[in-house]
A and B are shown apart, each in its own frame.
Chain A
Amino acid sequence: MRGVSGLARLLGAGHFVVTCEVGPPKGVNVDGLTEKAALLKSFVDAANVTDCQTAVVRLSSIAACVHLAAMGLEPVVQMTARDRNRIAVQSDLLGAYSLGIRNVLCLTGDHQKFGNHPGAKGVFDLDSVQMVEMVRRLGAPGEFQCGEPVCGEPPVFFVGAVENPCAEPLELRVRRLEKKIRAGARFVQTQCVYDLDRFRHFMGLVRARGLHEHAHILAGVTPLKSVRMARFMRDAVAGVYVPDEVVARIEAAADPAAEGVAMCVEQIAALREIEGVAGVHIMAVAWEAIVPEIVRRAGLYPRPADDEPKDRNR
C-alpha cells in the first residue's frame, strides 16, 4: 500500500496548482461523475469530492473518489464532522486509504438544518481542528485518537483544511488557521474570494505569522453564472462575501455567464500575484463544464505532469 499524494508532490515541487470541486450524484448512477472526470482530468491537478454538501444526501465521497481515481483524476476526499463520530471518521479514512485515496480535507460541515433531512441528529463529535489533529496522528505517529497504535502501515494522508478569508474578525480567522496548521493541515483551501482587497489583507496576516511556509494555501474561486446566482451568493450563502460592485458588474453584462467567467479569470490572475498563494481551488457549483475554459484562459494549461506512477492503489 505504497504511494503518496500527487497533490502534495506538485505543491512540494512549487507548481501553482489547480484543484476543483466535484459534487457526487444524488443516486447510484455514476455516469455523470465519470463524464465530469473525463472532462476535467487534464485541466486540474486534483478534484475534491464534497461530502453531502449542504447536508443533502449524496453518493459517498469515498466511493466517488474511487470512481475519479479510476478515471485518472487525483481525488481529495472531503470528510465532515457533521455525520460521523470519531470512530466512524477513522474507520472511513482507513477504508479510503486502503482504496488508494491520499488526500483528505477536514471540515466541520454545514448544519443539518439546511439539508434534506433537517430532523437528522447532527453528530459534531469532533470539530474540524480536532479532526485534522486526529488524521495527522493516524499517519504519524500512527495512532488512533484513543492512543492505540494503528496496525501495520500507518495511513499517511495529505491533510487539508479550509478557512474563510473574508469573514470577520479577520484576526480570529488567521489565528484559527494557525491552529489548524499546527494541528497538522498541510494544505488549505479557502472559501470563495470575490473581494481581493480583503483577501490581500488576510494573506498579509497569514504571511506575518509565516503560515504560508507551513501549509500550501489555495484560494477559492467560484464563477458567477447569472445575475440570480450573484445575488444569491451575496445575500443567502453563509460565509461568502460578494461586494456589490461584483454583483453590479454581472447585472450590467449582456452575457452574465461570460462576464462571470471573465471575472473569474481576472481573479485568478490577481491571486497568482499574491505572495503565499500556492494555487487556486475552483468551486464551479453545478457548472464543472466551465472549468477547462477558465483554466485555459487563466494561462494554467497544460498542467504539469506528475511523473510518479499512478498505480498506487493495488
Chain B
Amino acid sequence: MIVVEAKSFAQVAAMTSDCRRLLVAACAGCTAVCGVGGERQAEELADALRLHARLRGKVLETEVRGVTRQCEPEFVAEFAPAMGRAEAVLTLGCGVGAQFLAERYPNVPVLPGVNTRFAGGLTAPGVWEERCRLCGDCVLHLTGGICPRTRCAKGIMNGPCGGAAGGFCEVGGGSPCAWLLIWERLERLGRAGVLDEIGPPPDWSDAQAGPRRSGKGGGAE
C-alpha cells in the first residue's frame, strides 16, 4: 500500500493560517490504514487547528468529510457540496488523492496534510517498510524475490558493494544488506548460480517518461 506520514502540526497550521473556512478531507484508503488520514484523525486535526486559531485571536470554521478513496473520481465527486462551502481543502489523502481533488475542484486551493512516502508493507506493529520502488521493470525472478532496487541503498544489480559490514548496509538505519539476503535465499533455493550472470542495467525509459498509464488487468497500453 501507499505509506504516508502526517506533516508536523506547525507545518499544517502555517499552511492554513490565512484560511477561515477549511474542509479537512479524509481518505479511508491507505492513509487511514497508516493511522493519519482517516475521519477520526481528520476530526482531531480540525479540532486542534480551530483551537490554534482561537489562541491567536482568529476564527476558523472547519468541516470534516471522508470518502472511500480519494484516488477515484466517483468518490472525489462526493466532496462537491463541502467544497462549495470551503475556502481551501486540507487533504489527508496521499499525493494522488490531493491531485485528484485539485483537478476536480480547480477553484479551491488544495493543501497537503501528509507526506506521501513509499509503497510498503507492515513489518512490525505500526511500522511500514518500503518494498517496491515502482520502477516498472521487475527483476524479482533474478533476485530471489528480494528487490535490490528498493532494498539496496545504491539500488545495484550486482552487489553486494564493498560497504556491507556485519550483514548490514553501511548507510545505516539497521537495514540488512539486500544482497546478502538475496545470496542467502538463492543459496537455500539452490539457485545461487543466477548471481554469476551479470544483472542487467535498469530500463528507466518507461519510469521517467512522464506519468505512466496501465490498462485494467495488467500491461501498459
A and B form one complex: yes
A residues contacting B by CB (< 8 A) are 81-82, 86, 108-111, 113, 122, 124-130, 133, 145, 162-164, 167-169, 172, 175-176, 178-179, 182-183, 191, 238-239
Question: Knowing A169-B180, A238-B170, A239-B170 touch, does A129 contact B162 (C-beta < 8 A)?
Answer: no
A179–B183 Cα distance when bound, in Å, is 15
Cβ contact within 8 Å between B201 and A145: yes
A154–B170 Cα distance when bound, in Å, is 37
B153 contacts across to A, CB distance below 8 A: 111, 113
State which of A122, A133, A163, A167 has its C-beta within 8 Å of the C-beta of B154.
A122
A313–B183 Cα distance when bound, in Å, is 44
A215 to chain B, nearest CB (A): 16
B20 to chain A, nearest CB (A): 36
Cβ contact within 8 Å between B165 and A239: yes
A163 contacts across to B, CB distance below 8 A: 162
Question: Knowing A108-B156, A122-B154 touch, does A129 contact B199 (C-beta < 8 A)?
Answer: yes
B220 contacts across to A, CB distance below 8 A: none
B198 in the interface (beta carbon within 8 A): yes
B160 in the interface (beta carbon within 8 A): yes
State which of A127, A164, A172, A179 has its C-beta within 8 Å of the C-beta of B156.
A127
A111–B160 Cα distance when bound, in Å, is 13
Cβ contact within 8 Å between B163 and A239: yes
Interface centre among B153, B192, B198, B202 (most CB of A within 10 A): B198
How many residues on B have C-beta within 8 angstroms of the other chain's C-beta atoms?
Answer: 29
Cβ contact within 8 Å between A167 and B165: yes
A214 to chain B, nearest CB (A): 15
Interface centre among A108, A109, A178 (most CB of B within 10 A): A108
Question: Knowing A175-B196, A179-B198 touch, does A127 contact B160 (C-beta < 8 A)?
Answer: no
B154 contacts across to A, CB distance below 8 A: 81-82, 108-109, 111, 122, 124, 127
B1 in the interface (beta carbon within 8 A): no
B140 in the interface (beta carbon within 8 A): no
B179 contacts across to A, CB distance below 8 A: 172
A238–B171 Cα distance when bound, in Å, is 9
Instruction: Give the interface SS of chain B, mostly helix, strand, loop or mixed.
Output: loop
A183–B160 Cα distance when bound, in Å, is 16
B residues contacting A by CB (< 8 A) are 153-165, 167, 170-172, 179-180, 183, 192, 195-196, 198-202, 204
B172 contacts across to A, CB distance below 8 A: 113
Cβ contact within 8 Å between A126 and B165: no
Cβ contact within 8 Å between B201 and A167: no
Interface centre among B163, B171, B198 (most CB of A within 10 A): B163
A133–B158 Cα distance when bound, in Å, is 12
State which of A81, A169, A238 has its C-beta within 8 Å of the C-beta of B163.
A238
B195 contacts across to A, CB distance below 8 A: 172, 175-176, 179
State which of B164, B171, B202, B204 has its C-beta within 8 Å of the C-beta of A167.
B164
Cβ contact within 8 Å between B158 and A130: yes
A113–B159 Cα distance when bound, in Å, is 18
A/B interface sample: 27 pairs, CB < 8 A:
A86-B201, A108-B154, A109-B154, A111-B153, A111-B170, A111-B171, A113-B172, A124-B154, A125-B204, A128-B156, A129-B158, A130-B157, A130-B201, A133-B198, A167-B160, A167-B162, A169-B183, A172-B183, A175-B196, A176-B158, A176-B160, A183-B198, A238-B163, A238-B170, A239-B164, A239-B165, A239-B170
